[in-house]
Chain A
Amino acid sequence: NAGVTQTPKFRILKIGQSMTLQCTQDMNHNYMYWYRQDPGMGLKLIYYSVGAGITDKGEVPNGYNVSRSTTEDFPLRLELAAPSQTSVYFCASSTTKAGGMRELFFGSGTQLSVL
């Protein structure tokens, strides 16, 4: 019962470095999402995908990039890390029914610090 798997769990970056947050799901969900959560705040949508080869921007896409080459994988790329990107990142996937998405299944999160 793997569900949604995110790696790494923790990472410290220096300003200007780049990295990729990995996300994979084994539930054959078409919909996948990347959220960030700052302390004491709700989740902000970065990017999402409704299927392989299709991605779209969320509320806070600047400084990030994504790709969706397979149904299972949805990596998030930070090209030039900035202190403002210090946050907890959650990947999620969703079942779908008529009318759109249903329950979101979340990964365990990545704590990223940019110093």
Chain B
Amino acid sequence: GQNIDQPTEMTATEGAIVQINCTYQTSGFNGLFWYQQHAGEAPTFLSYNVLDGLEEKGRFSSFLSRSKGYSYLLLKELQMKDSASYLCAVTLGGGNKLTFGTGTQLKVEL
């Protein structure tokens, strides 16, 4: 089976750092994605992790621990435009399809 858990909502201050966690219990785990989705828009790709460790890309970093079934997305130097939903998603087995969590709604305040 598969179960992907993320916090429903988070609030953070402009300029701060925020960590969004994602845990999963899946059989045949292959890799993990993070997507950003602004209200009324399509999701856009942020990161992909298949091996344990940290992947850094500008202000955004993503971490994966396969043994713990755990990932986080780290957003640094928060900006108002970072207010969005952040979706954790996993590929299983043959890696042909992506299963999404329900997303974490991040609100960045002044």
- Cβ of B96 within 8 Å of any chain A Cβ, yes or no, is yes
- Cβ of B110 within 8 Å of any chain A Cβ, yes or no, is no
Q: In the bound complex, do residue A101 and residue B95 qualify as a contact, i.e. CB atoms below 8 Å apart?
A: yes
Q: In the bound complex, do residue B97 and residue A99 qualify as a contact, i.e. CB atoms below 8 Å apart?
A: no
- Cβ of B60 within 8 Å of any chain A Cβ, yes or no, is no
Please name all residues of chain A whose beta carbon is closer than 8 Å to the beta carbon of B101 when the two chains form the complex: 42
Q: Per-residue CB proximity of B63-102 to A under 8 Å, as 1/0? A: 0000000000000000000000001000100111111111
Q: In the bound complex, do residue B91 and residue A100 qualify as a contact, i.e. CB atoms below 8 Å apart?
A: yes
> Which of A41, A58, A104, A106 is in CB contact (< 8 Å) with B102?
A41
Task: Give the secondary structure class of B's interface.
Answer: strand
Please name all residues of chain B whose beta carbon is closer than 8 Å to the beta carbon of A52 when the two chains form the complex: none
Which chain A residue lies CB-closest to B92? A100
Please name all residues of chain A whose beta carbon is closer than 8 Å to the beta carbon of B35 when the two chains form the complex: 104
Please name all residues of chain B whose beta carbon is closer than 8 Å to the beta carbon of A40 when the two chains form the complex: 102
Q: In the bound complex, do residue B42 and residue A100 qualify as a contact, i.e. CB atoms below 8 Å apart?
A: no
Task: Give the secondary structure class of A's interface.
Answer: strand
Counting contact residues on chain B (CB < 8 A from A), the size range is 20 to 34
> Which of A43, A101, A103 is in CB contact (< 8 Å) with B96?
A101
**CB proximity of B35 to chain A, nearest CB, Å:** 8
- Cβ of B30 within 8 Å of any chain A Cβ, yes or no, is yes
* 25 A-B interface contacts by CB (under 8 A): A33-B98, A41-B102, A42-B4, A42-B100, A42-B102, A43-B43, A43-B87, A43-B100, A45-B98, A48-B97, A90-B42, A99-B31, A99-B50, A99-B95, A100-B31, A100-B91, A100-B94, A101-B96, A101-B97, A104-B35, A105-B45, A106-B42, A106-B43, A107-B42, A108-B41
